[in-house]
Amino acid sequence: MNLRAWAILGCLGILAGCATTWDVDRFEAADADLAGRRSFAWKGGEVGTPTGVSSGVAREADVHVRQAIVTELVRKGYVEVPDAKAADMLVSYQITGSQRFETEKDQRIGAPSPNEVLTPGNAPLPPASLPPREVSIREGSVIMFVEDPASGQLVWRGLITTETRVSSRESAVHLAADMARRIAQEFPDRRAAP
């Protein structure tokens, strides 16, 4: 095998190792018979964070999340219909996010140990230690809901919650769409008509 082939295999291995996998928390009503249903209508969704989201970001997220979910449902054999009254299922989503701050628990690099500071004969004493650094942790959730239009009852729900490390709103929108796609992949395939 030549050097180029080894390089390609190495890159593929690295990409496979970096691929994000999410566990989808699912709920399905016992009497839902989702595989026996044929059509769905898009109900929409909402984006919510403690600080609020601009309408432009919410619209962009709605476009990408809708495309991800609808593509997966169509691939599974379901048909999207424009009229909610004619649909077997109503599909919606919710994106939530939060941010919290935690202090680092590890000793900072370069900070003197207590034995070095408290030993007699060590002069001069180092300056007082600074408080531990705060770390920002962002957490986000994407939830997909499927309701029965006749009863209004929830028949299926998929949820992913993860810590995020996105640096831009575009990255956040694409991450939400990827999470929605992963959730929709867990939805049951449509049963073929006999």
87/167: higher pLDDT: 87
At 97, the pLDDT band (50, 70, 90 cuts) reads confident
The pair of three-digit structure tokens given for residue 132, joined into one six-digit string:
């531990």
User: 31 or 138: which carries more pLDDT confidence?
Assistant: 31
pLDDT tens, 98-144? 877 776 665 555 566 666 656 666 655 545 555 666 666 778 899 99
pTM (two decimals): 0.72
Q: What value does the mean pLDDT of the chain take? A: 79
In this predicted structure, what is the pLDDT of residue 80?
A: 95
Strand ranges (E), the chain: 25-28, 39-48, 79-80, 89-103, 134-147, 154-164
59: helix, coil or strand?
helix
pLDDT value of residue 161:
92
pLDDT of 10 higher than 50 = no
Residue scoring higher pLDDT (97 or 86): 86
Considering only 26-35, 114-123, 168-177, 181-190, which range has the smallest mean pLDDT? 114-123
pLDDT reading at 183 higher than 90 = yes
Whose CA is closest to 142, among 29, 20, 38?
A: 20
Residue 103 and residue 116: Cα distance in Å, rounded? 24
Kindly indicate whether the domain formed by 38-101+133-189 is annotated with CATH number 3.30.160.180: yes
**What is the average per-residue pLDDT within 48-55?**
72
Of the candidate ranges 35-44, 87-96, 162-171, 175-184, the one whose mean pLDDT is the lowest? 162-171
pLDDT value of residue 133: 62
CB neighbourhood size of 89 (10 A): 24
pLDDT level of residue 40 (50, 70, 90 thresholds): very high
Tell whether the model's pLDDT for residue 151 goes beyond 60. yes
Residue among 68, 83, 32, 81 nearest 142 (CA): 68
Mean pLDDT throughout 70-90? 95
Domain ranges across the chain: 38-101+133-189
